[in-house]
Amino acid sequence: MTVKKKKGIQISRGVVHGPVFYFEKGQLSIPRHRIKEAEFDAEVDRFLEAVRISKEELTQVRDLVLDHLDEDHARIIDAQMLAVQDEEMVKSVKDMVIREKKNASWAYFDVMDRYESMLLQTLSDFFQDRTVDLHDIKKRVLYHLQGDKSSDIPKITKPSIIVTEKISPGGLINIKHNMVLGLITKEGGYNSHAGILARAFRIPYLSDVIDIEELNNCSEIILDADNEEILIDIDSDDVHRYTKRIRNFQKQRIQIITDKVASATKNGEPFHIYLNAGFVDEVKPLNPELIQGIGLFRTEYLCIAENKIPDEETQFQAYKSVLQSMGNLPVIFRVFDFGRDKLLALLDMEIIQEDHVFDEWGGIGFLLENPDILKTQLRALLRASVYGNAKIMLPLVMFTEELRQTNKMLDNIRKELSRESIPFSQTIELGAMIETSSVLDELDSLSNLVDFFSIGTNDLALYLIGSGRAVDLTKNYYHPKIFHAIKKVIQVGQRVGVPVNVCGEMASDPYALIGLTAIGIRSVSVGTSALESVSKHVASMDTTQIEKLADPILKADSPASIYSILTQYQQKDIT
């Protein structure tokens, strides 16, 4: 029997074999039953109430969006608000309840379905992406109609490969991840939150797979994300052929790091390689004997996991658990960094992010405007600090003043904790992320208030070069402006004795890593997927040779010339 194959686009690598768990878009299970005439009024009222609550929620969402994004995005919510209470729609639902005796959920679903299919038909090229996503609205109203708060979460009983149209970040995280062997979706993106989470959890993920319905009837499949294939109608011989690769992948999945991470270059110069992480479960399996610490713990992922900002106790337990599994190694907790994309994930909304307008909002500035959120988090961090070597890092620092305010808040919390006789570490370090252009002018005053600098190259590139995240950032790494900015941070750091670390994708790029080393970086933090290769590169570096590249790099006038300096060096190095 020949195996049938389907193709897709790799979002997260890996190979798995397992049963299919197929669920329809959003898993909206619609209770359908006929009602009695005596129930008409009550049923219609129930529907109007669900509409009212949904509208109220959207009003809150709109306020948030207007406060923190812009008028443009608020208009998208305006359209959703009009649609959720659309008078023709409401009329049709009422009619259907009364004439066809359908219960409200059923009638509403049918009416919305009709609008959706009509909208789909009218979609000409220029109308695409310019219409309201009714799915979101529908989900919201049905949710309030049913009162079944778990209807959105698929209930998986055994480890399976999930097949669905598209998956929301909330949906992914809610699936107990050891139940998810792999993911297959019709729609998705490399940088979607589901995509990021899949890579973080090492779940093989293929997106853009067509006719996923075909997989509904398969009992077992092989998902080979490495080769961007799905094998259906498989027999034991097929499974046998894949056994070795599947086992290897499982091994990698469990023991993420198998070799000790390099702590010095070939010529014996100390070099720190830290790890980026965002989930407690991601940190737990790490062997502290093999690594040097967590250089960036993205605390906002806790919010994605909970779909809300967790309370002090929940945060405390999470931070404590991370610190305990790391022994005495440093763990740098970056306080909540709610950028535009993260806000949207929290609200579980899908707004197209095609615009390259840079948002000024996020980072420590936002937290200082919302001191309750920051205070709760700092209290949780200070309480957890006695369980290991915790450091606190502030994202998207713009002004020295933000450090002053944070320090003041920390002092108050320390006093509070002392009064309450709650122990905390007296020596917790505070660092600033250098990732905006404005902070580059305040490095001197800033350096007096911090214990370390960490350069976030992704946002720094955005600020200095001004291109959107959607554009391939790799090319931006080689921009002279980036190298000059980093050099400036290193110089200030050396002068006042503040260590400088680089976290961001730039450090994972082998050529860019040489460039960073050339201008004086000796500490980086990278994702687990890049750790092994970065470690190998560092171990093979001869800094006495690499430092000779500093001059030509800092004199170069274009990204292309920096790129060629670095690639030429690398080629010489290999041969």
Partner 1 sequence: MQSREIQILNKHGLHTRPATAFVTEASKYKSEIMLEYNGVKVNAKSILGLLVLAVEPGSKLMLITDGPDEEEALEALHKLVKNKFNLE
Which residues contact partner 1 by CB under 8 A?
75-76, 78-79, 82-83, 86-89, 115, 118-119, 122-124, 126-127, 130-132
Cβ neighbours of residue 448 under 8 Å, at least 6 residues apart?
Answer: 496
* Residue that is written with structure tokens 């750790």 in the block: 531
Spell out where 299-451 has E strands.
330-334, 389-394, 429-434
Least distance from C-beta 346 to partner 1, angstroms? 23
Q: Which is nearer to partner 1, 89 or 304 (CB)?
A: 89
CB of 131 to partner 1, least distance (A): 6
Nearer Cβ to partner 1 (80/389): 80
Of the candidates 178, 160, 154, which has an alpha carbon nearest to the alpha carbon of residue 220?
Answer: 160
Single out the residue of 55, 28, 38 nearest to residue 116, CA to CA. Answer: 28
Q: Closest separation between CB of residue 344 and partner 1, Å?
A: 17
Q: Decide: 133 and 155 in contact? Cβ < 8 Å.
A: no
Residue 88 or 420 having the CB closest to partner 1: 88
Helix (H) / strand (E) containing 5? strand 4-7
Least Cβ distance, residue 118 to partner 1 (angstroms): 5
What is d(CA 277, CA 542) in angstroms, rounded to the nearest whole number? 29
Q: Which is nearer to partner 1, 45 or 129 (CB)?
A: 129
Structural contact between residues 21 and 156, judged by C-beta atoms closer than 8 angstroms: yes
Helix-helix angle 457-465:480-496, to 10 degrees: 120
Q: How far is the CB of 317 from partner 1 (least distance, A)?
A: 43
> Which helix or strand (DSSP H or E) is residue 151 part of?
none
413-419-424 Cα angle (round to 5): 55
Nearer to partner 1 among residue 55 and residue 481 (C-beta) = 55
The sign of the dihedral angle between the CA atoms of 67, 71, 73, 76 is: positive
Nearer to partner 1 among residue 130 and residue 419 (C-beta): 130
Q: Is the dihedral of CA 290, 291, 297, 301 positive or negative?
A: negative
Residue closer to partner 1 by CB (options 93, 516) is 93
- CB closer to partner 1 out of 126 and 211: 126
Cα 260 from chain centre? 27
- The CB-of-136 to partner 1 minimum distance in angstroms stands at 13
Q: Residue 71 is which amino acid? A: E
Q: Tell me the closest approach of the beta carbon of residue 318 to partner 1, in angstroms.
A: 40
Q: How far is the CB of 301 from partner 1 (least distance, A)?
A: 32
